[in-house]
Structure 1
Amino acid sequence: MSATIEPIVHPIFGKQTGTWQYIVACPKTRQAVIIDPVLNLDLTEREITTTSADELLTVVASNKYTITRLLETHAHADHLTAAYYIQQKLFVSDKPQIPICTGRRIRQVQETFANKPSENAFDCLFDDNEVFNIGDVTAEVLHLPGHTPDHSGYLIGSNVFTGDSIFNPDVGSARCDFPNGDANVLYHTMQTLLALPSHYKCYTDHDYPPADSGREPMPFVTVAEQLESNKHVKKGTQEHEFVNWRRDRDSNLKEPKLLHQALQVNIRGGRLPSSPDGSQRTFLQVPFCAPQALC
């Protein structure tokens, strides 16, 4: 049996959202995927820019990679995906369009927030444990619910791209108070990750280094490090301990500041609503509470 081919991993960090983006490439064929690319949204300036996504494209070009898939882990609530932007930037007229992919349970999230699925938002909806190739590198889709019901991860070689299903040990875990989120389910998802071989690397979607840690953002730690010191689910943590802490913590959290803007874009695979006047302006709805007499 031939040895497993390990990919090249390029982590790119966005300070504005504390978000990691990844390019994962086959070292032999130079085929690659991009995981969870980010658009920059400035609420003060009311402007969407592509600085973070363009940084990814620079790395792709400088390494002569051929992108074969754009992978989303879930419908993010704290940033806008750049998947559609990158798809359009890399479009070549005589070649198939690069597919934007996520887990099939995105349909549930679309129904929750848009009342109906958006049939054309994603080009590929993965089944649980579906296997695909990145050149000569094998990748497997993992269903990792709890933070959101649609959440997927990607096991590529000895690397697992965990999205928001687990964070670095001194950060711990993600909130579970979004619709159909579930702290019990997230606990079991984290146990699934912690059961992987100890040398496997857990690449997270976010890192928020504690102020007193003195460390820089890290894209990954090993499964062994998570088991040893994850402050929410290290080895020996019982389910009821995690669930009680998570629920108490979530009850006091404010909603992400980009929640409403992000979901409108992300359940559509990164497509922005069309401009009503044909200009470069787009309109995203933000709900407000108002007295009944005004409604």
Structure 2
Amino acid sequence: MSPSTCVQAFFDTGTSTVSYVLSDRATRRAAVIDSVLDYDFKSGHTHTGSADRILAYLGEQGLTVDWILETHAHADHLSAARYLKERVGGRIAIGEHIRQVQQIFKTIYNLEREFLPDGSQFDHLFTEGEVFRVGQLEVQAMLVPGHTPADMAYRVDGMVFVGDTLFMPDVGTARADFPGGSAHILYRSIRRLLALPPETVMYVCHDYPPKTRTAQWQTSVAEQRIGNIHVHDGIDEATFVAMRTARDATLDVPTLILPSIQVNVRAGQLPPPEANGVRYLKIPLNALPVRDPAV
């Protein structure tokens, strides 16, 4: 990593999400990656404490935001992308296959006719291999589907932000049982990431640490290839798919999946207000597959 490159992490304890500010010290330009809008499931209230920590850091460092990046449409937290853009600007961006995710969930939620599954809610949709800049930093967008069809990683200056595709080595890999997910495709995306130079620094989007350690979010390609409990070197695709499929069958649906995705496919915009001026999140009943509690 060059002296001009700076990465600041923000860990949200409520959702175990790591957001990042990537900045170029030379130009004071920045990108925010995977921001969090706090949501209280019991009361239905949103809060901005996590995003405000990022705003405070941007102000303290005198940074101008060029990009507000999403690695995918998250199922475990609401995005604060729209809230941040309204305050500091920047272009909200995600991978172009968000259109597929939008189409899937427009049907599940029966979203309003005006919601178009064409990606237009975002300011920019990245294509595979597309290069963009944060100040003088050159960033490459990498398509890494499997967890969802639209997952992107962002590679810059000897680092890669991998979203949910990989976790810390002792935690493993993302689930692949969401609509449009595929354990086969996830394995191939992971192997593509692990083919990067061994010294490449990896920043993960979540950490669910065992009791023996505190939360962490920085690892490397070499560490993943040696020690990832799900996909270290020597694990072939068939073995991984069998493990991932069996494990996913035991996992509960994420607590915030239903409120979060209907916001995140809108680039962090809350649903439009209804005639009484109130915005509503929809809960489709019996629409998502769930684990059999008897299993």
Question: Which residue number corresponds to residue 20 of structure 1?
Answer: 18
**Residue 62 of structure 2 is aligned to residue 64 of structure 1:** yes
Q: In the alignment, which residue of structure 1 is the partner of 2:99? A: 107
Q: Which amino acid aligns with 1:105?
A: H
- Shift in Å at residue 278 of structure 1? 5.6
2:96–2:119 CA contact under 8 A, matched in 1: no
Q: Tell me the residue number matched to 2:258.
A: 260
Give the residue type in structure 1 aligned to 2:134. Answer: I
The correspondence for 1:248, drawn from 246, 249, 266, is 246
Letter in 2 for 1:82: A
Deviation at 1:44, TM superposition (A): 1.6
Shift of 1:4: 6.3
TM-score, scaled relative to structure 1: 0.91
Cα distance change on mapping 1:6 and 1:181 into 2, 3 Å: farther
| Corresponding position of 2:218 | 220
Structure 1 runs (4+) deviating above 3 angstroms are 3-6
Question: What value does the CA root-mean-square deviation take over the aligned residues?
Answer: 1.6
Unaligned runs of 5+ in 2: 108-115, 288-295
Query: Are positions 1:198 and 2:198 aligned together?
Result: yes
Could you tell me which amino acid in structure 2 is paired with residue 259 of structure 1?
I
Aligned to 1:231: 229
| Residue of structure 2 equivalent to 1:8 | 6
Q: Secondary structure at the match of 2:100?
A: helix
Query: Contact 1:77/1:258 (CA < 8 Å) preserved in 2?
Result: yes
One-letter identity of the residue aligned with 2:252: K
List alignment gaps of at least 5 residues for structure 1.
92-97, 291-295
Who is 2:151 aligned against?
151
Contact 1:118 1:268 (8 Å CA) reproduced: no
Please give the secondary structure, in 1, of the residue aligned with 2:83: helix
Distance 1:289 1:56 in 2: 37
Report the counterpart of residue 76 of structure 1 in structure 2: 74
Match of 2:53 in 1: 55
Question: For the Cα contact (< 8 Å) 2:141–2:155, is it kept in 1?
Answer: yes
**Structure 2 counterpart of 1:293:** none
> In the TM superposition, what is the alpha-carbon distance from 1:215 to its structure 2 partner?
1.2
Distance 2:242 2:201 in 1: 28
Q: Deviations over 1:100-121 (max 9, x none)?
A: 1011000111111114415531
Aligned residue-pair number = 279
Shift, 1:219, TM fit: 1.6
Contact 2:22 2:30 in 1 (8 A): yes
Taking only the aligned residue pairs, the percentage that are identical comes to 40
Deviation at residue 289 of structure 1 after TM alignment: 3.9
Partner SS state of residue 21, structure 2: strand
Checking the alignment, whether the CA contact within 8 Å between 2:4 and 2:26 is kept in structure 1 is: no
Equivalent position of 2:139 in the other structure? 139
Q: Write the letter of the residue equivalent to 2:285.
A: F
8 Å CA contact retained: 2:144, 2:165: yes
Partner of 2:113: none
The question of whether the paired residues in 2 share the 8 Å contact of 1:22 and 1:34 is answered with yes
Instruction: Give CA-to-partner distance per residue, 1:239-276, whole Å, 9 cap, x none.
Output: 11111000001112111111111111000000001222
